[in-house]
Structures are given as structure tokens and as C-alpha cells.
Homo-oligomer: A and B are copies of this chain.
Amino acid sequence: MTDRIRDFLRLRRPEGPCLVVDLDVIRENFLNFSKALPDSRVFYAVKANPDPAVLKLLAGLGSNFDCASVAEIDMARNAGATADRISYGNTIKKERDVAAAYNRGVRLFAVDCPEEVDKIARAAPGSRVFCRILCDCDGAEWPLSRKFGCDPDMAVSVLEHAHRLGLVAYGISFHVGSQQPNPDAWDIALKSASAVFRTLSERGIQLRMVNLGGGFPAKYVRDVPAVKTYGQAIFTALRRHFGNRIPETIIEPGRGMVGEAGMIKAEVVLISKKSATDPMRWVYLDIGKFGGLAETMDEAIRYPIRTPRDGDATEPCVIAGPTCDSADVLYEKTPYELPVSLAIGDEVLIEGTGAYTQTYSAVAFNGFDPLKSYVI
């Protein structure tokens, strides 16, 4: 909660639930990333928050952009980024979208299988490709799946295949899992990456880049290490596995760049119990899983919630959204402590919501508008 957001809400009094994002926090985060990992190029993960003002700020600061689609590539270009500062980082691309990116000048693509290499060789000849590898990194709060990446052994053949087809086998990427609280999580992945570098080098292919991915956390309910700590741990791991031949590196912060910059204002619509003897209150807000808080899925991300009654005695409660969908419950398995004095109509502030909220909101579920967003 920054003074600028507090002032905005006090003066503008926007109606309905809304997200307010403070650009000053993003600027500071960008500078912190640059300082913590001075030799890495920052590729901001546009999907985290693609608001034009956010992209424009970052483009001006010199950021590069990790894009998930042609639409995101266009957003980055509209914000002022030239094509050489854009990576098409989605491993799942239609061939016509690869061609569209290539026509816009993009020459850096993610792959994780030979089929995707084939598309890029046809539609974006001569481009640089990096292969995403699976990494076994426990501890991330947002569920990591096997959806992206391949086995490191397979990455060797994927990149050899790219090389044979005239592409530049450029590097390796991985992702240690979003909201990764453990700075040492990069170590195992870098060990795998360095093995791929060595094997390919023995076959005459010199990779040049490691994409360290995202995973840098935002502060939610629990404290997280500072970006500096991540920078040190990553540098140590790079030294350990690459010795004096540390490759070019890039990072793709999304949540870590914009998460703490945003705050959602919401309203308590109803507080009730299920029976006369029920010890548990249900607190219903005017925002839920389908209005922007999709990352409460399986109660994965636990946002700090401020109320006008903070300081009063608290009791656990279930928190749910306003739709008629029974799945629209935010926190129930692990109930949430909120003031006993909390009342219907109270305004609550949901912190750390600058990333992965607005663009997730449903177009019109239950007739509710998508989350409004103000970037200040």
C-alpha cells in the first residue's frame, strides 16, 4: 500500500472493485532487478500485467519483453520496444503466429520439442531458438506442471535439430516455478543447463545464453527474500556450473516486477453463517475467482487483506466471491483471520495484486464486468 494508491482511492473513490497499480513501485523493482543481476538482461513477462502504461514505463527503462502471443508482441512494440528486445517465449505457437512475429522482426523464440523447431525453421528462418528444459524445483507456491519444457537429454537433440535446420541454437531456458521462495532453486536447473551446454559443445554447437526464467516472488502473506539474495544465489550457481565461462543470461520477472505494485479495492457484500451454531463466518466480497483472483485456485496464492477494522480481535472465516458459482470460494481449506468487527459494506484492500489479476478476469461471468484497472 503506497501513499499514491491511498491518495488515488481517497480522491477518486472509484465505484466497484478495481485494481490500482503504482508505477513508482515497478520502476524501483526494475532497478532492483538490474542491480541484483547486473549481467542479466531483463525480459519482463508481459502476461503478468500488459497495461500500456506499465509496458511504456519498462520500455523507457530499457527492459526487454517476454511475450506469449502476437498480441503481446504488438503491445510491447506499441510501448516502444524494438523487435530485437522481444522474445516470443511461449513454447506453444501456431506456425502462422511464428510467421507474424517474424514479419514484425522478432528473431528469438522458445521451443521444447522438434515439432516446434520445424515450425520456426519454416516460418522464421535463421532465428535464434532456446530450448526450455523441465526442472525439478520444489517449493513454488503457484503449481508447477510438466506443461512446458523437455528432458535435458531431449533438449540436446532439439537444439541439434534446430542447428541442422539453419536456426541458431542459442541457449537453454527453464522456470523454477512461479512465486519461488527458495533462491537456491536455480542451482539444480543450472546444473542441467550446463550439462546441455557441454554435450552440445562436444558436438560443435556453442550455446550462448541461459534464460533463468521468472519465479521471483512478490510479498503476499509470508515474507520473501530480497531480489539481491536471489541475485547472489544465482551468481554462485552460475559460477559453480559454468566456471569462468558464464554465458549470457536473461531473466523474465513478471510477478516479481509488478505484483507488489498493485492493490485491489473490494467491498464486503455479505457476512453470514450457515447455521445458528456455526462457528465459522462466511465473508463474501465483490471480487472472486472469476473477477481477477484466479490465482486463489487451490488456495495457491494467499493475498494480504487489509480492512478498516485491522487491530480489532480476529476470528477465522471463509472468504468467497460474488458469483453464483459454487467454485468461487477463495479461502476455505485454510480459513483466513479477519476482524470480528468486519461489517457488510466495509471496503477491503487486497495487496500484492499487480500481477496475474486483471487479464485473468472473466469477460462477463454472472453479468459482472471485468476488473477495472487504474495505473498511476
Contact = CB atoms under 8 A, between A and B. Distances in A.
B116 A270 contact: yes
Nearest to A324: B68
Nearest to A94: B269
A232 interface: no
Contact of A92 (B47, B69, B95, B269): B269
Contact of A366 (B69, B153, B271): B69
A362 interface: yes
Given A95-B345, A154-B276, 19 more contacts: A46-B367, A68-B323, A68-B366, A68-B367, A69-B368, A70-B367, A71-B369, A90-B324, A90-B366, A94-B267, A115-B270, A116-B270, A143-B327, A147-B328, A149-B274, A150-B274, A151-B274, A154-B275, A361-B363
A45 B365 CA distance: 12
Contact of A364 (B67, B325, B359): B359
Interface stretch (A27-35, A36-44, A282-290, A346-354): A282-290
Interface in A131-189: 134, 142-151, 153-154, 157, 175, 177-178
B274 A157 contact: no
Contact of A362 (B71, B151, B359): B359
A98 to B, nearest CB: 11
A72 B149 CA distance: 43
Contact of A344 (B71, B91, B115, B327): B115
A344 B75 CA distance: 27
Contacts of A276: 151, 153-154, 157
A177 B326 CA distance: 9
Contacts of A50: 364, 367
A1 interface: no
Interface of A: 45-47, 50, 67-72, 75, 89-95, 112-116, 134, 142-151, 153-154, 157, 175, 177-178, 267, 269-276, 278, 282, 284, 286, 290, 294, 297, 320, 322-329, 332, 344-345, 358-370
A77 to B, nearest CB: 12
12 contacts: A46-B367, A47-B323, A69-B367, A72-B366, A92-B270, A95-B344, A134-B274, A147-B328, A150-B272, A151-B276, A154-B275, A359-B364
Contacts of A89: 324
Given A284-B92, A363-B370, A367-B71, A113 B272 contact: yes
B282 A147 contact: yes
A213 to B, nearest CB: 11
B297 A71 contact: no
Nearest to A332: B145
Contacts of A359: 362-366
A72 B367 contact: yes
Contact of A290 (B145, B150, B294): B294
A93 to B, nearest CB: 7
Nearest to A175: B326
Given A92-B269, A286-B94, A344-B115, A142 B326 contact: yes
A236 to B, nearest CB: 26
Given A116-B272, A150-B274, A276-B153, A47 B365 contact: yes
